[in-house]
Amino acid sequence: MLCEPDVKTTQVSQLLHGHIAEVVERNGLWLHVKGADAYTGWIHQGYVVTMPEPVPPLSETGWNDPRPLSFGCTVRDEHGATRKLPLGALVTEGQERFGGLAMTLEERRNSFPPAADSITASAMTFFEGTSYEWGGLTPWGCDCSGLVSSSFHLHGVNVPRDAWMQAATGKPVDSVHDLMPADLLFFSDEPDGKITHVAISLGGMKVVHLALGRGGYAVDDLAQGDEYTDLLLKRFRFARRILSEN
């Protein structure tokens, strides 16, 4: 998904294989679409197919779609062509999974509960080694808010797409001394303080994030830092708790 109807412009997010989007505007061969997360962007019509009626509500698609969701599986279509699907993509009608893991929504709800330790474990397990990619959502390339969005959605917890949007969710954490696993830490390098980076707490100031300054996936302790984490700590603004406390 691009910011403008032009292949040379910036990627802002991704519409993964099998996910359904609503067309809100057309510009020649380009479609301005809204995905299940209500995020909008431009995509070329060559990447999409028209859904047959009846089309399910967007709220029942994406990560909430009952169809099998890929954990990096490989599928074969009716013509024998194979395709590797990233985490978060959906296995669609006519595709046969013959390698890797895919789970239905019901199976995921049983295997991936909305618990703090489970969410942080998923972020560390599935995204370890991921390179930084602006607008990315998957282990094939991801940005900081994409890591948060995908990790939480995998566990049935809906969070917005971008860091500045995520910063308006949940409840404030009073102090860095009160941070718990799966709390979100927010940072800014903008004069107006607009949030430009997010990290997931592993408990206290130890975090997992997709950091441009690290080239991608990193686990950092902001309390025992180096040149990069010292700079990041100066940019820290606040933290939010997304999960309800029991």
Who's near 58: CB < 8 A, 6+ residues apart? 20, 21, 22, 34, 35, 36, 38
Sign of the torsion angle spanned by Cα atoms 11, 41, 128, 124: positive
pLDDT at 59: 87
pLDDT at 244: 86
- Domain co-membership, 88 together with 57: no
H or E segment to which residue 233 belongs: helix 227-234
Q: What whole-number distance in Å separates Cα of residue 93 and Cα of residue 133? A: 30
Average confidence (pLDDT) over 7-28? 97
Average confidence (pLDDT) over 188-200? 96
Picking from 104, 133, 158, the residue at the C-terminal end of a domain is: 104
207, β-bridge pairs: 201, 220
- Domain co-membership, 27 together with 15: yes
Boundaries of domain holding 190: 112-241
- Domain co-membership, 156 together with 216: yes
DSSP 8-state class, residue 37 = T
pLDDT tens per residue, range 83-100: 999 999 999 999 999 999
Is there a domain that residue 246 lies in? Answer: no
Q: What whole-number distance in Å separates Cα of residue 4 and Cα of residue 19? A: 20
Who's near 228: CB < 8 A, 6+ residues apart? 211, 213, 214, 220
pLDDT tens per residue, range 212-230: 999 999 999 999 879 999 9
Query: Residue 87: is it exposed, middle or buried by C-beta count within 10 angstroms (0-12/13-18/19+)?
Result: buried
Q: How many domains does the chain have?
A: 3
Q: Is the pLDDT of residue 246 over 70?
A: no
Q: Is the pLDDT of residue 206 over 80?
A: yes
- Domain co-membership, 218 together with 149: yes
pLDDT tens per residue, range 128-185: 999 999 999 999 999 999 999 999 999 999 999 999 999 999 999 999 889 999 999 9
Q: pTM score, two decimals? A: 0.95
Q: Is the pLDDT of residue 238 over 80?
A: yes
Q: Is the pLDDT of residue 51 over 90?
A: no
Determine which of 1-15, 44-58, 210-224 has the lowest per-residue pLDDT on average.
44-58
DSSP 8-state class, residue 59 = G
Q: Are 204 and 223 in contact (CB under 8 A)?
A: yes
State what percent of residues in the chain have pLDDT above 70. Answer: 100
- Domain co-membership, 36 together with 89: no
- CATH code, 179: 3.90.1720.10
Is there a domain that residue 99 lies in? Answer: yes
Q: Is the pLDDT of residue 245 over 80?
A: no
Average confidence (pLDDT) over 52-76? 93
- Domain co-membership, 86 together with 154: no
Is there a domain that residue 162 lies in? Answer: yes
> Is omega for the bond preceding 160 within 30 degrees of 0, making it cis?
no
Q: Which of 193, 190, 191 is nearest to 238 (CA)?
A: 193
Is there a domain that residue 83 lies in? Answer: yes
- Domain co-membership, 136 together with 76: no
DSSP 8-state class, residue 176 = G
pLDDT at 225: 79
Q: Are 90 and 69 in contact (CB under 8 A)?
A: yes
- Domain co-membership, 91 together with 163: no
Task: State both tokens at 218.
Answer: 């990193």
Please report, for residues 74, 102, 106, 163, 222, the alpha-carbon distance to residue 84 in angstroms, rounded to integers and kept in the order given. 4, 12, 23, 28, 36
- CATH code, 9: 2.30.30
- Domain co-membership, 124 together with 159: yes
pLDDT at 53: 86
pLDDT tier, 52 (very low <50, low <70, confident <90, very high otherwise) = confident
What is the average pLDDT value for the chain, to the nearest integer? 96
